[in-house]
């Protein structure tokens, strides 16, 4: 059974934090062969959404508020759980969290999508803005949510 839970950084215990960092490392650094500083000092100011099945962390993302934006970041799914609708469920929950954080909708909801999966985010009403950019050796593009908040 899939379980989705939100955490602030201060309420994540050491075992859960280790699971988060392990999953992010497994996908972003090892699978994608992208050497970059995943521990960026921004986790402390973010909301963290965890997806667990059978008590194992299989999906994750974080939502971070800045002055101008709500940023959805570090979206990751264990390879065995891709293509089963979990990515969309993570994103839908992230968008609902953005509404809770900014109920008036003054801030744009953004993300930096890998261009190879840009279509996934477009299906969720995100539209690309600007030009592609390099992030950790992988081409990304900034995307802004255009759907109903």
pLDDT at 16: 95
Cβ–Cβ under 8 Å, residues 31 and 73: no
In whole numbers, what is the pLDDT of the chain averaged over residues? 95
Q: Give the CATH number of domain 2-145; options: 3.40.50.740, 3.20.20.70, 3.40.630.30, 3.40.1190.20.
A: 3.40.630.30
Q: What confidence tens digit (pLDDT) does each residue in 96-144 have?
A: 999 999 999 999 999 999 999 999 999 999 999 999 999 989 999 999 9
Per-domain residue ranges for the chain?
Answer: 2-145
Nearby residues of 109 by Cβ (< 8 Å), 6 or more positions away: 69, 70, 71, 72, 95, 98, 144, 145, 149
Q: pTM score, two decimals?
A: 0.93
- pLDDT reported for residue 149: 62
pLDDT digits (tens, 9 = 90+) for 17-39: 999 999 999 998 888 888 777 88
Higher-scoring residue by pLDDT: 8, 27: 8
Beta-bridged to residue 113, according to DSSP, are: 141
- φ and ψ at residue 26, rounded to 5 degrees: -55, -40
Q: Say how far apart CA 112 and CA 31 lie, in whole Å.
A: 18
SS3 content of the chain, % helix, strand, coil (to 5): 35, 40, 25
Joined tokens for residue 10: 């201060």
Residue 94 CB partners (closer than 8 Å, separation 6+): 49, 61, 63, 72, 75
- Cα 104 from Cα 12, distance rounded (Å): 29
């Amino acid at each position: 059974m899939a379980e989705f839970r939100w955490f602030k950084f201060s309420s994540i215990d050491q075992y859960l934090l280790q699971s988060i960092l392990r999953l992010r490392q497994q996908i972003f650094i090892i699978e994608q062969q992208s050497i970059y500083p995943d521990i960026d000092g921004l986790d402390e100011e973010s909301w963290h959404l965890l997806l667990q099945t059978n008590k194992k962390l299989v999906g994750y993302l974080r939502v971070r508020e800045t002055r101008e934006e709500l940023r959805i970041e570090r979206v990751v799914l264990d390879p065995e759980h891709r293509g089963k609708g979990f990515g969309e469920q993570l994103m839908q929950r992230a968008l609902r969290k953005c509404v809770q954080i900014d109920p008036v909708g003054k801030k744009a909801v953004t993300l930096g999508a890998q261009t190879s999966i840009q279509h996934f985010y477009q299906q969720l009403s995100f539209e690309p803005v600007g030009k592609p950019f390099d992030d950790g050796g992988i081409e990304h593009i900034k995307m802004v949510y255009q759907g109903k908040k």
